[in-house]
Structures are given as structure tokens and as C-alpha cells.
Amino acid sequence: GICVHGQLLLGPNAITGEWGHNPLPWPRPEELPGPACYCGKHGCIETFLSGPGLAGEHLRRTGKTLMAPEIAALAAQGDAAAETTLQIYEDRLARGLASIINVLDPHAIVLGGGLSQLQRLYDNVSQRWQQYIFSDIFHTRLLPPRFGDSSGVRGAAWLWRDQP
């Protein structure tokens, strides 16, 4: 969802924040047309940035079927292939979020879902998104979900009125 001045934004189509079914921004040639999405299109952000999306990227590149937490654990142990998969993931997340920031200029973006527990995302992605954001100053903060990944917040952008 998108929260403006303390209130969730609600539109006539009830699709506010359905960012996951937009195409991945600034696509690389190898990312087109992208994986098939259950919505009927190809290359939706969700097909790259979900846990299965991360696992799928690792499978395409290495031929190894691993779950996202296993890939994250391997990267933390210094596995080069897993590290590359995570860096590709971080760059995609940075691109996806930069396109939101360029439209909404939010004070903060709160990640959700299982991958929001991956601590390295918060520093790495907010470094990487600077190259995609149309600004020379970067005050938007990338935050973990306040109530863990069970809070039901999926890729939510919160705009707070009184935050610095």
C-alpha cells in the first residue's frame, strides 16, 4: 500500500501499490521478455523480486535449484555464484524502487515479504538506487518491516508527513 499523510491511498480501481505487476525498469537485454507471471504477462517486477524470482535467477545462471534463504546463506559464506545472484537481485530491487521514488518521492520505503529479513539489502539497495534516482540528494530511507515479514506489507511505500 501507499501511505500519504498517515492515510492509506485508496483509488477507484483498488490497485494502489500493485507495483509488482509493472515491468522491471531499465531492463537489461537478458531480462527481456522476462519470466512468465501468473497475471498473464512476462517480466513483471514480482517475477524477479519475489523469493522464487531470486531462486529462478540462481537456477538460470548456475543450474542449481536452491531456495532464496539457502542462496543468502551461501553468499554470506563467500560463495561467489550466490553473491552474484544477490547482487543482481539488489540491482533489480534498486531499479524497481527508484522508479517509485521518481514518481512519489517518499520519505521511506518499507520492504515486506520473506526477503525483507535479508539485512544486507538495506545498505546495498539504497546505495545502488542512487544511480537511477533523478536527484542529486537521497533522503528516502529503506526500512525493514516493523512487525517482521508477517506484517502483510508487501513492497509498501510510506510517505510520512512529519519525518525528517
Positions that interact with Zn ion (CB under 5 A): 21, 37, 39, 41, 44
CB of 98 to Zn ion, least distance (A): 20
Question: Quick one: 18 or 83, whose CB is closer to Zn ion?
Answer: 18
Question: Quick one: 41 or 141, whose CB is closer to Zn ion?
Answer: 41
Centre a 10 Å sphere on the Cβ of residue 25 and count the other Cβ atoms it contains: 16
Gap between the Cα atoms of 16 and 30, Å rounded: 29
Dihedral angle over CA of 69, 42, 44, 71, nearest 10: 10
CB of 121 to Zn ion, least distance (A): 22
CB of 40 to Zn ion, least distance (A): 7
CB of 46 to Zn ion, least distance (A): 6
Beta pairing partners, 75: none
CB of 105 closer than 8 Å to CB of 65: no
Question: Quick one: 18 or 70, whose CB is closer to Zn ion?
Answer: 18
Q: Which residues contact 140 (CB under 8 A, 6 or more apart)?
A: 101, 105, 106, 107, 108, 109, 126, 133
CB of 2 to Zn ion, least distance (A): 19
Question: Quick one: 44 or 75, whose CB is closer to Zn ion?
Answer: 44
Question: Quick one: 38 or 134, whose CB is closer to Zn ion?
Answer: 38
Preceding omega of 33 cis (within 30 degrees of 0): yes
